[in-house]
Amino acid sequence: MKDDYDLTGEKRSKNKVLHLLVVSSLIFGMFFGSGNLIFPVHLGQLAGNNWLSAAFGFAISGSLFPLLAIMAVVVTKSDGLYDLARPVGKFYAALFLVLVHLTIGPFFGTPRTAATAFQMAVQPFLPAKYNTVGMLLFTALFFGLAYTLTVHQNKLLKYVGKYLNTIFLVLLAIVFVVAFLHPMGGLNHMPTQAYQTNSTVSGLLEGYNTIDAVALLALSVTFVHAVKGLGYKDRELTSLTAKAGSLSIALEVLVYFGLVLLGAFSLSKLTLSANGGVALSQIVNNYFGRFGAAFLGVLVTLGVFTTAMGLVASFSQDFHKLFPKVSYLAWLRTTTVLSFVVANAGLDNIIAWSLPVLMLLYPLSLALILVSLTVHAKPYAGLVYKMTIAFTVLPAVFDMLNASPAAVTSLKFVKTVLAAYHQYVPLASLGLGWVVPTFAGFVLGLLLGKLDVFASATEAVESRD
């Protein structure tokens, strides 16, 4: 690889370390948003003195699944979501890409970033009568800036990885240093009922709600593109991406444990909050007084803005790859304008219908990660991919129905189907009914695939004889 500084081995080594840190920061900045910031704080309050085991469970689903998503991209050497899902079939890969990007993009994820930033950074300082106008102006500025900073794809690494996420991490570190030097109290607090006996499982289910595995599959095209932009190819590209992904996830785990601990400490002075956003606001205000609201507003805005940049860039890159006649810039304009419109026109309704789609996509994403990590190079990989996904679809649809608005769940047919699903399918009542069918499809695909290979080999031997 061509060195930016010198041709000596020492300089090149230092440059690789810098690249590793910046790419790790890019990956962290793109997927660590408001939910990752506030869910663990509320978890700490819910878990009380069982905070450690709950945090461990949260880290398994909130960090291990995203790490496996990164590893799936690395192992298969995929250049985006379409490549990763293509062994299932071209139509499925295209449909899966469109559903994922529309749901975590302009129909849910991206508008939600701007709405969260407005709620935390602007609304507390704005008279209620100006909320509508304020939201309109703020989201126009938010998405206008996101568009401007992602026009040049190669600069995303510098803007997010080098600057914006670094500032975010520094501000978060300030909160941790102040809070841990002067804790709000001890940790001897009674857990809520769900965390008294099954705190690890409850924490795992809470981390499941982050849906980060889906997000990282969608964002893969952006961080792979960034690594290629640094001049890495083949094994070096694979190695750097794997190391950067692992480092970003390791940092996320540390942040999660710190946030859970903040929530557990806070019960000495605060009552159990309605959600993590309220809890984090109260904690920051306790330490920083009137300045706390502004400080938290900047912190949250930076966190969600880097995520928004990653989402609009990955949407545009993947859609340009799927529909090459439409340019990256055209798709970028499409997703930023759509996100602006949705954020200002019925975001709550959009979210109500987008969340069920996420519940459909999450099991399908984890099934895709499973087969990508295990059989992608096998001669029978296509069969295992297809069988695994086929067995995952039905429980994923049931999970989608279960998370749907009341207009759907109140239907008699839906009630009957879901009652049977929750009664007879293992783990279905926890929202994990896809686990057993997915592994059943995976094992069946393996057996059929190996039998097919054996039969083909036998025929080849007989034909030679």
Span 298-309, pLDDT tens digits: 999 999 999 999
- Give residue 462's pLDDT band: very low, low, confident or very high (50, 70, 90): low
Q: How far is CA 322 from the centre of its chain?
A: 22
Cα atoms found within 13 Å of the Cα of residue 382, Cβ hemisphere only: 8
Give mean pLDDT, residues 119-144: 94
Confidence of residue 149 (pLDDT cuts 50, 70, 90): very high
Q: 81, 96 in Cβ contact below 8 A?
A: yes
Nearest to 172 by CA among 33, 323, 15: 33
**Which of residues 392 and 33 earns the better pLDDT score?**
392
Residue bearing tokens 């097919």: 452
53 vs 35, which has greater pLDDT? 53
Whether pLDDT at 194 is above 50: yes
Indicate whether 313 pLDDT > 50.
yes
Residue 392's pLDDT band (boundaries 50, 70, 90)? very high
Please answer whether residues 49 and 191 qualify as being in contact, where contact means their C-beta atoms are separated by less than 8 angstroms. yes
% of the chain beyond a pLDDT of 90: 80
User: Residue 252, SS3?
Assistant: helix
- The predicted structure's pLDDT at residue 135: 95
The pLDDT tens digits of the residues spanning 37-90 come to 999 999 999 999 999 999 999 999 999 999 999 999 999 999 889 999 999 999
Six token digits for residue 33: 């948003």
Spell out the residues 6+ positions from residue 69 whose beta carbon is closer than 8 angstroms to its own.
212, 213, 216, 217, 220, 365, 369
Q: How many residues does the chain have?
A: 465
Average pLDDT of span 213-241: 91
363 pLDDT band (50/70/90 cuts)?
very high
Q: Could you read off the pLDDT of 159-178 as tens digits, one per residue?
A: 999 999 999 999 999 999 99
Whole-model pTM: value is 0.92
CB neighbour list of residue 360: distance below 8 Å, 6 or more residues apart: 99, 396, 397, 399, 400
pLDDT of 401 over the 80 cut? yes
Q: Is 431 left (phi over 0), alpha (psi -120 to 50) or beta?
A: left
Mean pLDDT for the stretch of residues 341-370? 87
Do 260 and 49 form a contact (C-beta atoms < 8 A)? no
Per-residue pLDDT band at 4 (split at 50, 70, 90)? very low
Q: Which of 8-17, 101-110, 209-218 has the highest mean pLDDT?
A: 101-110
**pLDDT band, residue 457 (cuts 50/70/90):** low
Q: What is the mean pLDDT of residues 270-278?
A: 90
Q: What percentage of the chain reaches a pLDDT higher than 70? A: 94
* Closest by Cα among 126, 172, 167 to 296: 172
pLDDT at 114: 94
On the question of pLDDT at 134 being above 70, the answer is yes
Residue 6 pLDDT > 70: no
Neighbours of 221 (CB within 10 A): 28
Q: Give the model's confidence band at 35: pLDDT under 50 very low, under 70 low, under 90 confident, else very high.
A: confident
**Encoded tokens for 362:** 């999450």
Query: What is the pLDDT averaged over residues 336-351?
Result: 86
CA-based Rg of the chain, rounded to a whole angstrom? 23
For 296-354, the DSSP string reads HHHHHHHHHHHHHHHHHHHHHHHHHHHSTTS-HHHHHHHHHHHHHHHHHS-HHHHHHHH
Q: Which of 70-74, 250-254, 268-272, 460-464 has the lowest mean pLDDT?
A: 460-464
CA atoms of 117 and 320, how far apart (whole Å): 28
Q: How far apart are CA 82 and CA 67, in angstroms?
A: 19
* Of residues 61 and 392, more confidently modeled: 392
Rounded Cα gap, residues 299 and 171, in angstroms: 6
For the range 415-422, what are the long-range contacts, defined as Cβ-Cβ under 8 Å and sequence gap of 24 or more? 421/395
Cα(242)–Cα(300) distance, rounded to whole angstroms?
A: 28
What is the pLDDT at residue 464? 65
Kindly indicate the confidence band of residue 208, based on its pLDDT and cuts at 50, 70 and 90.
Answer: confident
DSSP tag of 191: P
The number of beta carbons lying within 10 Å of the beta carbon of residue 188 is 10
Q: Cβ(385)–Cβ(340) under 8 Å? A: no
Cα–Cα distance measured from residue 380 to residue 13, given in angstroms and rounded to the nearest whole number: 40
Task: Please write the tens of the pLDDT for every residue from 236-266.
Answer: 999 999 999 999 999 999 999 999 999 999 9
pLDDT tops 60 at residue 1 = no
- Token pair for residue 70? 């990164």
Please state, in angstroms and rounded to a whole number, the distance separating the CA atoms of residues 17 and 1: 14
Judged against a pLDDT cut of 80, whether residue 3 lies above it is answered with: no
Query: Cβ of 130: how many Cβ atoms within 10 Å?
Result: 12
pLDDT at site 159: 95
